[in-house]
């Protein structure tokens, strides 16, 4: 039995060895590296430049994963908004140029609202956020120039000022706050909605509880116009309107439509009272860990995605206004009434000029005069 068994065992061993050799040679032929084509394997002349053994391919994959850094982008609006489209364009541009980064876009305030996201960038616990400039005034007071009502007259004028020396200077100012300002995107011209009455003239604002961004200039402006403003993070706004905590808010048409504000607001007024930029911010402590090449890729992508965002935002503003006219009672504000709005809030501009900085306000207004 043993012998027989011994012979059987020997035959088994030989056949196992033969099977193993067959298996090894078969696998070696198939696993000629991800770059090998079937023709190269058939030719048997695998080009050493393309054929990579499995283990080095695995190593190269694991190396990419190891070295790849995740950059998270936090925005407050949802994934229908042109700002989200811009963030996805940024992701596409960066990931097409380098394997060094995995870009993750978090919309609808999933990570934080504007002000908290800015603070997270300062601590290096978040890499990117693209807020309205208004909350940034709590960190860099000069940013208040963008909250002075009725100053910027069109998106094209905004582009010229923001993409010129004045915009560059403003981007540099955030460095003192452990932030890197990389590009200007567009939120747009803000318009009033409310659930109480049509607003066609200044007097119609009396007593309306209006949510504003967390920004003293906005609060003062609506107080001066006779409303009862309250500051609130964007992430809390829809619920506040739904529960009647506030009567109204002000935002560009795309935000009003794409955030479904028309479900909880009845009246829309084309006030266009201020143009708000979005600013592409990067955490400086994270930025300083990147190579110059990586910084260039990210900076160029932020600018290019911003140009895309502006185009999409202007298209969306027209589309959204038309859509909102079907859901809400729309009131145009006549040029005469616009003038009354402007005259009424002049004291607010005078009061805040000193808080913002007389020189930077004058520089901003002088720059605007070149184009409008």
**DSSP 3-state assignment of 301?**
helix
**Among 52, 100, 114, 220, interactor with ligand KDG by CB under 6 A:** 114
Residues 270-289 contacting ligand KDG, CB under 6 A:
276
Alpha helices by DSSP H, 68-154: 82-97, 114-123
Nearer to ligand KDG (CB atom), residue 116 or residue 153: 116
Contact string 205-234 vs ligand KDG (x = CB under 6 A): --------x--------------------x
- Assigned token pair, 59: 């190593």
Nearer to ligand KDG (CB atom), residue 189 or residue 337: 189
Residues 232-251 contacting ligand KDG, CB under 6 A:
234, 251
Q: How many CB atoms lie within 10 A of CB 293?
A: 11
Q: How far is the CB of 61 from ligand KDG (least distance, A)?
A: 35
How far does the chain reach from its first CA to its final CA, in angstroms?
105
**Among 32, 72, 73, 76, interactor with ligand KDG by CB under 6 A:** 76
In the complex, residue closest to ligand KDG by CB: 76
Whether the Cβ atoms of residue 91 and residue 124 lie closer than 8 Å to each other: no
Judged by CB under 6 A, the stretch of 73-81, 315-323, 338-346, 361-369 that binds ligand KDG is: 73-81
Q: How many CB atoms lie within 10 A of CB 44?
A: 7
Q: How far is the CB of 144 from ligand KDG (least distance, A)?
A: 15
**Among 83, 216, 224, 247, interactor with ligand KDG by CB under 6 A:** 83
Q: CA dist 346 to 84, 150, 205, 342, Å?
A: 35, 10, 17, 6
Judged by CB under 6 A, the stretch of 47-55, 72-80, 136-144, 178-186 that binds ligand KDG is: 72-80
For 366, phi and psi rounded to 5 degrees?
A: -65, -40
Q: How far is the CB of 107 from ligand KDG (least distance, A)?
A: 8
Nearer to ligand KDG (CB atom), residue 117 or residue 301: 117
Residues 298-357 contacting ligand KDG, CB under 6 A:
none
Binding to ligand KDG by residue 75, rule CB under 6 A?
Answer: yes
Q: Which helix (H) or strand (E) holds 230?
A: strand 228-231
Instruction: Give bridge partners of residue 185 from the DSSP assignment.
Output: 278
Residues 140-199 contacting ligand KDG, CB under 6 A:
187
Binding to ligand KDG by residue 126, rule CB under 6 A?
Answer: no
Q: Measuring CA to CA, which residue among 177, 184, 180 is closest to residue 295?
A: 180
Q: How far is the CB of 136 from ligand KDG (least distance, A)?
A: 10
Given its phi and psi angles, is residue 81 left (phi above 0), alpha (psi -120 to 50 degrees) or beta? beta
Cα R_g (the chain), whole angstroms? 29
Binding residue count for ligand KDG, defined by CB under 6 A: 12
CA pseudo-torsion sign 321, 327, 332, 333: negative
- Assigned token pair, 221: 């402006």
Residues within the interface to ligand KDG (CB under 6 A)? 75-77, 83, 114, 131-132, 187, 213, 234, 251, 276
């Amino acid at each position: 039995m043993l012998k027989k068994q011994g012979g059987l065992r020997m035959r088994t061993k030989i056949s196992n060895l033969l099977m193993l050799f067959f298996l090894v040679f078969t696998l070696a032929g198939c696993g000629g590296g991800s770059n090998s084509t079937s023709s190269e394997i058939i030719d048997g002349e695998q080009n050493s430049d393309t054929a990579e053994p499995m283990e080095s391919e695995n190593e190269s994959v694991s190396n990419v994963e190891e070295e790849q850094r995740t950059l998270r982008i936090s925005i407050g609006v949802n994934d229908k908004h042109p700002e989200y489209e811009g963030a996805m364009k940024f992701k596409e541009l960066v990931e097409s140029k380098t394997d060094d980064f995995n870009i993750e876009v978090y919309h609808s305030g999933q990570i934080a609202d504007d002000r908290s996201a800015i603070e997270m960038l300062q601590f290096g616990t978040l890499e990117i956020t693209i807020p309205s400039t208004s909350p940034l005034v709590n960190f860099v007071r000069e940013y208040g120039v963008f909250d002075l009502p009725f100053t910027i007259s069109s998106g094209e004028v905004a582009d010229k000022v923001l993409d010129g020396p004045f915009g560059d200077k403003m981007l540099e100012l955030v460095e003192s706050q452990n932030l890197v300002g990389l590009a200007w995107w567009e939120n747009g011209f803000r318009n009033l909605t409310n659930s109480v009455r049509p607003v066609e003239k200044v007097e119609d604002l009396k007593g309306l509880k209006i949510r504003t961004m967390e920004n003293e200039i906005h609060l003062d402006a609506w107080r001066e116009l006779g409303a009862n403003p309250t500051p609130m993070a964007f992430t809390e706004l829809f619920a506040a309107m739904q529960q009647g905590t506030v009567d109204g808010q002000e935002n560009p048409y795309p935000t009003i439509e794409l955030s479904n504000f028309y479900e909880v607001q009845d009246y829309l007024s084309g006030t266009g009272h201020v143009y708000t930029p979005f600013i592409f911010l990067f955490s400086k402590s994270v930025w300083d860990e990147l190579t110059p090449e990586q910084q260039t890729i990210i900076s160029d992508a932020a600018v290019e995605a911003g140009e895309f965002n502006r185009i999409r935002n202007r298209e969306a503003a027209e589309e959204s206004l038309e859509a909102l006219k079907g859901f809400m009672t729309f009131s145009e504000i006549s040029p005469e009434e616009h003038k009354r709005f402007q005259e009424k809030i002049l004291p607010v501009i005078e009061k805040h000029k000193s808080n913002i900085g007389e020189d930077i306000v004058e520089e901003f207004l002088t720059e605007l005069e070149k184009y409008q």
